[in-house]
Chain A
Amino acid sequence: MITRRNFLRNAMTGAAALSLPIAAFEIVDPKKLMAKEAESKSKVRWVFLVDTYKCTGCGFCVKACKLENEVPYDTNVTRTWVERYVTTKDGKSHADTPAVGGRDGFTHSTFDLGQGKTLDIKKEDIDKAFFVPKLCNQCENPPCVQVCPVGATYQTPDGVVLVDRSWCIGCGYCIMGCPYGVRFFHPVHHTAEKCNFCYHRITKGLKTACVQACPFGARQIGNLRDPNDPVTKYIMTERVGVLKEEYGTKPQAFYIGLDREVK
Chain B
Amino acid sequence: MKNHVLRPLFAFLGIVAIILLARMVLVPKDFGAYDRGYMYSWHRLGNEEDWKKIKVKYQGAEYCKDCHEKNYSSIKKSPHQNIQCENCHGPANTVNGDHYSDTLPKLAIDRSRAQCLRCHFPLPYPSSGRAKIKGIDPDKHNPDVECCMCHNPHMPNLEGLR
Contact = CB atoms under 8 A, between A and B. Distances in A.
Interface of A: 13, 16-17, 19-21, 23-25, 28, 33-34, 36-37, 40, 42, 52-60, 63-64, 67-70, 86, 104-109, 123, 126, 128-131, 141-142, 145-146, 151-157, 162, 164-167, 196, 199-201, 203-204, 206, 209, 212-213, 215-218, 257
Give 10 nearest A-B pairs by CB, closest first: A105-B118, A154-B43, A129-B125, A40-B35, A37-B37, A200-B54, A56-B130, A164-B47, A58-B118, A215-B82
B126 A152 contact: no
Contacts of A203: 52
The contact size tier of chain B is 35 or more
A151 B90 CA distance: 36
B123 A204 contact: no
Contact of A37 (B36, B48, B50, B119): B36
20 contacts: A24-B24, A28-B38, A37-B36, A54-B129, A56-B130, A67-B57, A104-B118, A105-B121, A106-B130, A107-B121, A108-B121, A129-B126, A151-B31, A151-B44, A155-B41, A162-B48, A203-B52, A204-B56, A216-B82, A218-B129
Interface in B53-70: 53-58, 60
With most chain A CB atoms within 10 A of its CB, the pick from B17, B36, B39, B124 is B36
B33 to A, nearest CB: 5
Given A109-B123, A128-B126, A131-B128, A13 B10 contact: yes
Nearest to A207: B60
B130 to A, nearest CB: 4
A152 B43 contact: yes
A70 B84 contact: no
A163 to B, nearest CB: 8
Nearest to A155: B40
Nearest to A42: B35
Contacts of B129: 53-56, 216, 218
Contacts of B150: none
B95 interface: yes
A44 B10 CA distance: 51
Contacts of A58: 118-119
B86 interface: yes
A53 B129 CA distance: 6
Contacts of A63: 87
B25 to A, nearest CB: 10
Contacts of A105: 114, 117-119, 121
A9 B129 CA distance: 80
B42 interface: yes
Contacts of A218: 129
Given A53-B127, A104-B114, A164-B47, A40 B21 contact: no
B20 interface: yes
A56 B57 contact: no
Interface in B5-43: 10, 14, 17, 20-21, 23-24, 31, 33-43
Contacts of B31: 151
B156 interface: no
B21 A24 contact: yes
Nearest to B19: A24
With most chain A CB atoms within 10 A of its CB, the pick from B35, B38, B53, B57 is B35
Given A164-B44, A200-B55, A123 B124 contact: yes
A155 B58 contact: no
B133 interface: yes
Contacts of A56: 119, 128-130, 133
B91 interface: yes
Contacts of A55: 128-130
Contacts of A107: 114, 117-118, 121, 138
A217 B94 CA distance: 25
Given A24-B23, A67-B91, A129-B125, 18 more contacts: A16-B14, A28-B38, A33-B37, A54-B129, A106-B130, A126-B126, A128-B126, A128-B127, A131-B128, A142-B40, A146-B40, A151-B43, A154-B42, A157-B36, A162-B48, A166-B50, A167-B43, A213-B86
